[in-house]
Amino acid sequence: MTQVKTPSLAISPIIMCGGSGTRLWPLSRAQFPKQFLALINDTSLLQDTLARLPIKHQAPVFICNEDHRFLVAEQVKQVKCSGATILLEPEGKNTAPAVAIAALNALENDDDALLLVLAADHVIKDLEKFHQAIDIASVAAARGKLVTFGVVPTHAETGYGYIKQGNKKGDGTYQVAKFVEKPNIDTAQSYVESGDYLWNSGMFLFKASRYLEELAKFRPDILVACQEAMGKVAADLDFIRPDRDAFLQCDNVSIDYAVMEKTDDAVVVPLDAGWSDIGSYSALWEIGQQDLQHNVLKGDVIAHDTRNSYLHSQNKLIATLGVDNLVVIDTPDAVLVADKNKVQNVEGIVNELKALQRPETKLHREVYRPWGKYDLVDQGERFQVKRITVNPGAKLSVQTHQHRAEHWVIVSGIAKVTLNGEITILKENQSTYIPIGAVHALENPGLLPLEMIEVQSGSYLGEDDIVRFEDKYGRVKE
């Protein structure tokens, strides 16, 4: 490894939290995608991304959408990451506009730090090699280069784009000869055999000012739109909201297309650190801890005469006998059984479910909210039952329902119930009734989680039957 001296410019991590992870359905869903799941260990992929940052770095900046903002905030809080900024994309427009608003935000603070752009859903096993690659990239970025990280391929892969390495420079980087789209298997094999190609990881390191300079040169329309959006930002709790109308003027385009394929200053640092973007269940199987029969077992699983399989149970016992090369995923409301060689096509199942307007594409049975979570235990034509957990100090919005009534039974903890202006304190084994149209709110004033059972009954039980009058999480306008 080339010896380098890390420059004095501080590294500002920019962590991209978008993406729906549809190829990991049913574990990953639109409202709770893979970056927020604990797929490798006891922490989420986003939290693992934070844990692998260089020791010396500035407070990270997260870029996410409206639906995931409270998930990001809660997971950042869990790992005691202080000072983080959460930028909310009004709509996903790919990486070029997203990084542009992060770069403009950095310059607004008179801070031309090195932006380390990372995805929140990657796995990198060898932290030492990862940090060494960042050190090499930092030197080049401090001199004005736009650095990307190319993963040394371990096999012919058709699911990734490739970067062809050009001439090697004295600082350990290589000139980018060209970017290549996802190839067919024969072309991918030739790339790997040549030794000149790297997988395109989608990770970057550059000065904020240099990225904006190159964006102004090649896609000034995107820069102008992002400048207008950041010129009209609105602060909302811990979030920064760029102006929606201005941001929507951006094209949907990646950094690669907008800048990296056009600039003369693109260089690549080879990365051989056990990287994976976990794009499918076969990738999870490859990086997982395999038993003697090459199975990866998660949860309550019994595998007899089973080989080369990925078996993951969240809810029920999975028992297999005499099978090979399978993926079996159990969640409380859906089960996937697939040939491991076909898991790249899971997205087709998700598309069919979307066409059928099935809720399993968006929500898990257990749904997280800024105040806690609920588990949809049972439902019928005119009723549904939820197990609700309210975090200490949290409060649901002051609201009303036009089509349903609710019965609340306290299981543990203390509930402060406001019903048409009257306040009642309820404890374990006590209950209350919320009539249709009543203005009500629920709060946990205690130090322990509040657990309760909610029975809803009425002609319509959808989540959109909520009129909010007041909300500590800024959701009234929704």
* DSSP code, position 343: G
Q: Are residues 348 and 390 in the same domain?
A: no
Q: Which of 354, 375, 410 is the last residue of a domain?
A: 354
From 332, 303, 337, select the one nearest 315 (Cα to Cα).
Answer: 332
- Range(s) of the domain holding residue 384: 366-470
Q: Which of 250, 276, 302 is the last residue of a domain?
A: 276
Question: Per the domain annotation, does 323 fall within a domain?
Answer: yes
The CATH number for 263's domain is 3.90.550.10
Question: Per the domain annotation, does 1 fall within a domain?
Answer: no
Angular region, 387: left φ>0, alpha ψ -120 to 50, beta rest: beta
Question: CB burial class (10 A; 0-12, 13-18, 19+) of residue 170?
Answer: exposed
Q: Are residues 203 and 345 in the same domain?
A: no
The CATH number for 448's domain is 2.60.120.10
pLDDT at 2: 44
pLDDT at 66: 86
Is the separation of the CB atoms in 468 and 396 below 8 Å?
Answer: no
How many domains is the chain partitioned into structurally? 3
Q: Which two tokens stand for residue 99?
A: 């990084």
All residues at 6 or more sequence positions from 300 whose CB lies less than 8 Å from its CB, including other chains: 313, 316, 317, 318
Q: Are residues 331 and 384 in the same domain?
A: no
Q: Are residues 92 and 201 in the same domain?
A: yes
Question: Per the domain annotation, does 160 fall within a domain?
Answer: yes
Question: Per the domain annotation, does 229 fall within a domain?
Answer: yes
pLDDT at 1: 42
The partner residues of 18 in beta bridges, in order of sequence, read: none
Is the separation of the CB atoms in 4 and 14 below 8 Å?
Answer: no
Beta strands 296-298; 61-65: pairing state: unpaired
* ∠ Cα 462 331 383 (to 5°): 30
Q: Are residues 269 and 299 in the same domain?
A: no
Q: Which of 322, 354, 386 is the last residue of a domain?
A: 354
Question: Per the domain annotation, does 477 fall within a domain?
Answer: no
Please report, in tens digits, the pLDDT of each residue of the chain (478 residues total).
Answer: 444 454 556 899 999 998 888 999 999 999 999 999 999 999 999 999 999 999 889 999 999 998 898 899 999 999 988 889 999 999 999 999 999 999 999 988 766 789 999 999 999 999 999 999 999 999 999 999 999 999 999 999 888 999 999 999 888 999 999 999 999 999 999 999 999 999 999 999 999 999 999 999 999 999 999 999 999 988 777 799 999 999 999 999 999 999 999 999 999 999 999 999 998 999 999 999 999 999 999 999 999 999 999 999 998 999 999 999 999 999 999 999 999 999 989 999 999 999 999 989 988 888 889 999 999 999 999 999 999 999 999 999 999 999 999 999 999 999 999 999 999 999 999 999 999 999 999 999 999 999 999 999 999 998 889 999 998 887 765 4
Q: Are residues 374 and 350 in the same domain?
A: no
| Number of neighbouring beta carbons within 10 Å of residue 321 | 9
Question: Per the domain annotation, does 296 fall within a domain?
Answer: yes
Q: Are residues 138 and 204 in the same domain?
A: yes
Q: Are residues 75 and 131 in the same domain?
A: yes
Q: Is 255 helix (H, G, I), strand (E, B) or coil?
A: helix
Is the separation of the CB atoms in 149 and 133 below 8 Å?
Answer: yes
Is the separation of the CB atoms in 281 and 327 below 8 Å?
Answer: yes
Tell me how far apart the alpha carbons of residues 306 and 296 are, in angstroms, rounded to a whole number: 11
Question: Per the domain annotation, does 53 fall within a domain?
Answer: yes
Q: Which two tokens stand for residue 279?
A: 């794009």
Tokens 């059984």 sit on residue: 337
Q: Are residues 211 and 337 in the same domain?
A: no
H or E element, residue 140: helix 127-142
Q: Which two tokens stand for residue 187?
A: 């072309």
Alpha helices in 257-404 (DSSP H): 281-287, 346-355
Question: Per the domain annotation, does 223 fall within a domain?
Answer: yes
Q: Are residues 56 and 127 in the same domain?
A: yes
Tell me how far apart the alpha carbons of residues 355 and 147 are, in angstroms, rounded to a whole number: 41
Q: Are residues 141 and 202 in the same domain?
A: yes
From 113, 72, 119, select the one nearest 98 (Cα to Cα).
Answer: 119
H or E element, residue 443: strand 440-443
The partner residues of 117 in beta bridges, in order of sequence, read: 14, 204
Q: Are residues 186 and 253 in the same domain?
A: yes
